[in-house]
Amino acid sequence: MVKYAPLRPPFAPARLPAAPERTPQLQDLINLPRFNTSQLWALPWKLSLAFIAALLLQAQPAQAQRVRLPIFDAVVVNSYPHDPDAFTQGLLFRDGVLYESTGMNGRSSIRKVALESGKVLQKADIPQQYFGEGMTAWKDELFSLTWQSQTGFVWDLKTFKLKRQFSYSGEGWGLTHDDKHLVLSDGTATLRFFDPATMKEVKRLPVTALGRPVEQLNELEWVEGQIYANVWQSDLIVRIDPASGQVHSVIDLSGLLKRSGAARGSEDVLNGIAYDAAKKRLFVTGKLWPKLFEIRLLPRPLTQ
Ligand SMILES: [Ca+2]
């Protein structure tokens, strides 16, 4: 799958093309708000695909009823500094600190980051030939992926020393774990589960929303028995039932990028979900975003 083709070579954020709009396929599935005329004037003059999709749904009320999924909006509880040069690929929270993996050839790393200050406390670089991707912590180790090299790394959680490598087929995008397995996304609509002891694949989980596959699943987080997944190049996080693979609700984070202060380039998309299970705090950030947010989820009222 072409993921970063417009970027290479060279990596040049200032010259990136305009951002693509949201993933229309998934956007079609969620319960878009219905705009009334008093709200119309406040919308940006440039109609987004989301808005067009909303109009289409308005024009086809029967279909809108059929494709409705519950939506949650995000209330920002706290915001913290985040390294604007970090091309965030993986994010997790453990023992009071954040761990983050970053991407791009020559800029990929794993980091331990202080939540409040955003300061990088510890860092290990990933060799230049690799494009870093998602990461998760398992026991006293960190497992990190690479995009197309079919190579993963296992790091000591405390020392950040590289302990060993593993290989897997296909691409590596996001990584998290349940109580038994590591869960890997690869840009498709299928999540793959691995035994962390052997890194052998043990099962696959097709992810669907109202019967349709949800492609481009990216950064992952295991949250209270559910899998949260960024949908790449969208402002959406889908909440997946790990038993059935069904998306049962969607978190709409549109507006957070602007609030983060990030420049709107094609690559500075939402991509980072971490959960503090002890204090039940949910954190999100994006690639090259100067801010990281703690958010609380608020159900969006259903419109008639
Ligand atoms: Ca994560």
Element (H, E) at 248: strand 247-252
How does DSSP classify residue 7? G
| Rounded percentage of the chain residues whose pLDDT exceeds 70 | 76
The verdict on 46 and 174 lying in the same domain is no
* Mean pLDDT value of segment 39-43: 37
Q: How far is the CA of 14 from the centre of ligand 1 (A)?
A: 27
**Beta strands, E only, 50-189:** 71-81, 88-94, 97-102, 109-113, 120-125, 132-138, 141-146, 151-156, 162-167, 175-177, 182-184
Residues around ion ligand 1, judged by CB within 5 A, are 91-92, 221, 273
CA of 59 from ligand 1 middle (Å) equals 38
Q: What is the pLDDT of residue 250?
A: 96
H helices of 12-145, where?
24-27, 37-40, 49-59, 61-66
Whole-number pLDDT of residue 279: 98
Determine the pLDDT at residue 209.
95
Using one digit for the tens of pLDDT, what is the confidence trace for 259-271?
777 666 667 888 8
Nearest to 226 by CA among 207, 203, 244, 242: 242
Ligand 1 centroid to residue 231 C-alpha, Å: 13
- What pLDDT digit, counting tens, does each position of 143-185 carry? 999 999 999 999 999 999 999 999 999 999 999 999 999 999 9
- Cα(54) to centroid(ligand 1), Å: 30
Q: What does the pLDDT average to over 19-33?
A: 49
55 and 199, same structural domain? no
What CATH number is given to the structural domain containing 284? 2.120.10.30
Look at the chain and report how many structural domains it folds into.
2
**What pLDDT, on the 0 to 100 scale, is given for residue 265?**
67
- Which segment, 8-22, 46-60, 174-188, is predicted with the most confidence on average? 174-188
Expressed in angstroms and rounded, the spacing between residue 227 Cα and the centre of ligand 1 is 10
Distance 284 CA to ligand 1 centre (A): 9
Residue 261 shares a structural domain with residue 128? yes
Residues 58 and 83 in one domain: no
Last residue of a domain, which of 66, 95, 123? 66
Identify whether residues 193 and 264 lie together within a single domain: yes
What integer is the mean pLDDT of 44-62?
41
As a whole number, mean pLDDT of residues 52-60 equals: 41
Q: Can you give the pLDDT at residue 2?
A: 54
- Would 9 be classed as within a structural domain? no
Q: What is the pTM of this model?
A: 0.81
Residue 259, pLDDT score: 78
Whether omega before 10 lies within 30 degrees of 0, making that bond cis, reads yes
**Ligand 1: centre distance to CA 275 (Å):** 8
The residue type at 160:
F
Write out the DSSP string of 180-230: S-EEE--SSSEEEEEETTTTEEEEEEE-EETTEE---EEEEEEETTEEEEE
More confident position, 50 or 219: 219
Indicate if 55 and 197 belong to the same structural domain.
Answer: no
Domain match, 232 and 263 both: yes
Domain assignment of residue 157, given as a range: 70-299
Q: What is the pLDDT of residues 226-245, one digit of tens each?
A: 999 999 988 999 999 999 99
Q: Which of 98-102, 209-213, 268-272, 281-285 has the lowest mean pLDDT?
A: 268-272
The reply to whether 87 and 54 lie within a common domain is: no
User: Residue 25: what pLDDT?
Assistant: 52
Note the pLDDT tens digit of each residue in 13-22. Answer: 332 333 444 4
How remote is the CA of residue 56 from the centroid of ligand 1, in Å? Answer: 34
With beta carbons less than 8 A apart as the criterion, state whether 120 and 155 touch. no
Same-domain pairing of 35 and 93: no
pLDDT value, residue 54: 47
